[in-house]
Structure 1
Amino acid sequence: MKISAATEKDSDWIRGRDHHLAEKLIAPKIREREIYLLRDDSEAIIGWMRFGYFWDNTPFMNMIWIEEKYRGTGLGKHVVEFWENEMKQQGFSMVMTSTQADEGAQHFYRKLGYKDAGSLLLESQPLEIIFTKKLT
């Protein structure tokens, strides 16, 4: 498995799968190296991870997605640790993410050392749990 930043040639692939990202933001996210792609040995894309910045200064993982047949194999953990290492190398001391309270991902993040840091409740949405992790 290989992790690398998305490039312009990956735009159509991202556009067709990441339905939570406005189309006009794909190119800027690619330019800023805020989308990582996971590829198998044949170079086929098997997942992605996208991030931004909370309060414009704290790396915030917005999305991680792995092809169904690769889930439960450690790839999610691997890409999160890769991202955390990248953020640490860039001088950040903390990262953040969130998940809805009705999603199992909250357990995944806690196993990776993320701590509950609060929540957000929007009308007609499940509770959003916010997590932080200090990078050491």
Structure 2
Amino acid sequence: MIVRRGCSEDLPRLTAHDDVRDDWIKRCIELGEYFVAEQNGELVGFLRFSRFWGKIPYMDMIRVLPSYRREGVGTALFHAWERAMIEEGVGHLMTSSEWAEAEPQAWHRRNGFKAAGSIDLRIVQPSPEIFFVKNISGIRKG
């Protein structure tokens, strides 16, 4: 498996598997806000992030194609993102999931995230959103 930053050639594959508008995907590619996982030249997963308050890397989406789940793809994507953010000198990472999603929350905790609060967004989703933060300020580069 290869994990790398997304590039313009990935646009058709990301458009097929991400649930945001094409122009947002293009924007994220241009800003280096995608990591993609490939196996035998096929997209098997991706991680898309943005910057909370324009500063804190926030994992918007991590998606692994169903036939590749539980094979370490998500963890490999997360570690590539985390290493890249450490290289940038970032102090914290953020992510979130719906309150009712026990499995994603357990994954975040296994990867070092701690719950940091929640917000009720039931006007757009069925349960509140819980936010997670990971302190990476003490992790060395390289």
Question: Which bin holds the TM-score, normalised by the shorter protein?
Answer: over 0.9
In 2, the alpha carbon distance for the partners of 1:105 and 1:8 equals 29
What is the CA deviation profile of residues 24-83 of structure 1, one whole-angstrom value per residue up to 9, with x for unaligned ones?
A: 21212111110111001x111101110000010000000001111221122211211111
Q: Which residue of 1 aligns with 2:78?
A: 80
In 1, the alpha carbon distance for the partners of 2:93 and 2:110 equals 15
Does the CA-based 8 Å contact 2:3-2:76 persist in structure 1?
no
RMSD after superposition: 1.1
Secondary structure at the residue paired with 2:94? strand
Secondary structure at the residue paired with 2:36? strand
Q: Which residue of 1 aligns with 2:134?
A: 133
Q: Number of aligned pairs? A: 134
In 2, the alpha carbon distance for the partners of 1:129 and 1:113 equals 15
- Identify unmatched segments of 5+ residues in structure 1: none
In 1, the alpha carbon distance for the partners of 2:122 and 2:41 equals 42
Shift of 1:108: 0.4
Shift of 1:22: 2.3
Shift of 1:107: 0.6
Secondary structure at the residue paired with 1:113? coil
Q: Which residue of 1 aligns with 2:63?
A: 65
Q: TM-score, normalised by structure 1?
A: 0.93
- Identify unmatched segments of 5+ residues in structure 2: none
Runs of 4+ in structure 1 off by over 2 angstroms are: none
